[in-house]
Structure 1
């Protein structure tokens, strides 16, 4: 259910459709292996950031555990990840997976701690949360074409947008904790200027290219895109008329639309297309729909409160009492 999983899941479903592949067990193990990788990323980050989070007043359920039990959970996740790799047995996939694991560790762990190294921090974050997992998926299925490059660039840009937004919201706490993130090092005004005038427009163009690629390759995907665009057009009019509040001030509405379409609308739709091709693929539809639980929950809350949130920001607070 982590938003980091969505672009990887989209890539996997896209390959299964476009390459007409039917490998349900391998694909399920692949999804599970990525899930444990993302789980490790969250855990190791919380482990090394615990003192900073406590000082900044950020509450995490994991903080309530004894340190040795916390370490035991992390080691358990590493062991289970290794079992996945033994089953999959793809050397290139394993190599990318291990590199991702190492970078995910060094992102939070001393002495390197990339997250406190300004520009290199957001680059590494873009790699470990989106681009490298997507590359691993394409590598596993030996799919290396122009669409591979489009997916990789798009996933990296989505990761950059995510981390910069996150750092903008954490600017005050990171400044107080003397964590030299990109936003802290650059300054909040310059970061916002770069975000609005460079990062968002460039990422938006790249995401539109990915959008057109999927529409060209997957039948009827254009209908889903048109439906989402109409929904967001209606939301824009509601905000303009004062019937809906724009709760998210940093993230522009057009980017929210592209994020929702690519990360939240397309994965269940592609899984539905797979199910129509072969009914045993229903398991992918169940996974894709289940992965959107927190998004759906957020949207129902938004409609009830008449506030438009950014699709990713809410996850931090939603997961405080979850996993």
Structure 2
């Protein structure tokens, strides 16, 4: 059983828990609770059920993509979850996780908008990689569909599942998630550019050219950072009702992001040429912090801690999130950008 779970649910080193729009943007879920004054045990239970739904759904999406790419990945020399399996088994395993996602998702289908969005997501995710439609090879349209399927629709499902109806706030958060997802998916195409050229795969990057797409990536990265700055500042006004200690924690979180955001500009315009791509495997950097560590870890944990202030049972989510993000690992903390940054500041002082 564990071998099965590790191979199919734990594909690519448990990427389902990291390359997952819901886990990446969990701060949005916590904000919904704070914004709607919902600190109930039921809300906490709903979060856990939605996370299970997200895990099963994301796994289905990645597995059906691996099934469709078995032969192509073999040409690229890339690993594939089903490389040692028959195609009928690959289909059955993929469908198993779709069924599991349906069982978890039924909890939220009383909201018709959730059900319709979910059905739309299943269609896009399935035909993103499966022939004859194979949206991933449809250039610009394909790129938009992958951002929608992997990033935007999941966060819209959050809004409908938790009945969040603050119109323009919803739009603001959705646009941020869109650009954050676009940055990741554009970078993924850039990394696969040479292989896609060699195998004749018609991605957006292949069609537009590497230099042009690198410029688009840079724009997307800057857009997401500016949008997150706006979100951080807006939360200070929308959550102004918080008691003194929780609001002080929110101010501290906002000051951290604002400070790091403007500090990044001093590095960009310094004499030393610096790579602003947060996806480069060059270790932790301020750009990786702004793109990933702050929204996925620090911002999420900060809002989670505020929920704990109002209902101590939310500590269960904190423990799960902390374990996933390495918050309890001394090694990961010491290797993080923020720890290294403040260590240097203290030594200089």
Q: Provide the residue aligned with 1:117 in structure 2.
A: 138
Over alpha carbons, which structure has the higher Rg? 2
Partner residue of 1:12 out of 12, 22, 29: 29
| CA separation of 1:61 and 1:98: change in aligned 2, threshold 3 A | same
Report if aligned partners of 1:126, 1:163 keep a CA contact under 8 Å in 2.
yes
Q: Provide the residue aligned with 2:256 in structure 1.
A: 227
Q: Provide the residue aligned with 2:18 in structure 1.
A: 2
CA distance in 1 between partners of 2:143 and 2:313 (Å): 40
Report if aligned partners of 2:179, 2:224 keep a CA contact under 8 Å in 1.
yes
CA distance in 2 between partners of 1:217 and 1:285 (Å): 23
Instruction: String of CA shifts for 1:251-283, please: whole Å, max 9, x gaps.
Output: 695475143212222112211211121112122
RMSD (Å) for aligned C-alpha atoms:
3.3
CA distance in 2 between partners of 1:115 and 1:250 (Å): 21
1:278 aligns to 2:311 (yes or no):
yes
Instruction: String of CA shifts for 1:35-70, please: whole Å, max 9, x gaps.
Output: 211111111111111211121111134423333332
Partner residue of 1:291 out of 304, 313, 324: 324
CA distance in 2 between partners of 1:169 and 1:65 (Å): 27
TM-score by length of 2: 0.75
1:31 aligns to 2:47 (yes or no):
no
Instruction: String of CA shifts for 1:109-137, please: whole Å, max 9, x gaps.
Output: 11111111111112111111121111111
Report if aligned partners of 1:93, 1:139 keep a CA contact under 8 Å in 2.
yes
TM-score by length of 1: 0.81
Instruction: String of CA shifts for 1:50-97, please: whole Å, max 9, x gaps.
Output: 211121111134423333332222111111111113333323212211
Alignment of structure 1 residues 45-194 onto 2, 5 Å = 45-90=65-110, 91-145=112-166, 146-194=168-216
Q: Provide the residue aligned with 1:318 in structure 2.
A: none
Partner residue of 2:296 out of 236, 249, 263: 263
CA distance in 1 between partners of 2:89 and 2:336 (Å): 37
Report runs of 4+ in structure 1 exceeding 6 Å deviation: 249-252, 296-299
| CA separation of 1:247 and 1:202: change in aligned 2, threshold 3 A | closer
Q: Provide the residue aligned with 2:4 in structure 1.
A: none
CA distance in 2 between partners of 1:62 and 1:278 (Å): 43
CA distance in 1 between partners of 2:323 and 2:86 (Å): 31
| Secondary structure in structure 1 of the residue aligned to 2:83 | helix
| CA separation of 1:54 and 1:246: change in aligned 2, threshold 3 A | same
Report if aligned partners of 2:156, 2:174 keep a CA contact under 8 Å in 1.
yes
| CA separation of 1:190 and 1:231: change in aligned 2, threshold 3 A | closer
Report if aligned partners of 1:107, 1:113 keep a CA contact under 8 Å in 2.
yes
Give the stretch that moved more between structures: 97-106 or 285-294: 285-294
| CA separation of 1:17 and 1:110: change in aligned 2, threshold 3 A | same
| CA separation of 1:10 and 1:63: change in aligned 2, threshold 3 A | farther
CA distance in 2 between partners of 1:212 and 1:187 (Å): 37
Report if aligned partners of 2:60, 2:95 keep a CA contact under 8 Å in 1.
no
Partner residue of 2:234 out of 202, 213, 223: 213
CA distance in 1 between partners of 2:223 and 2:278 (Å): 19
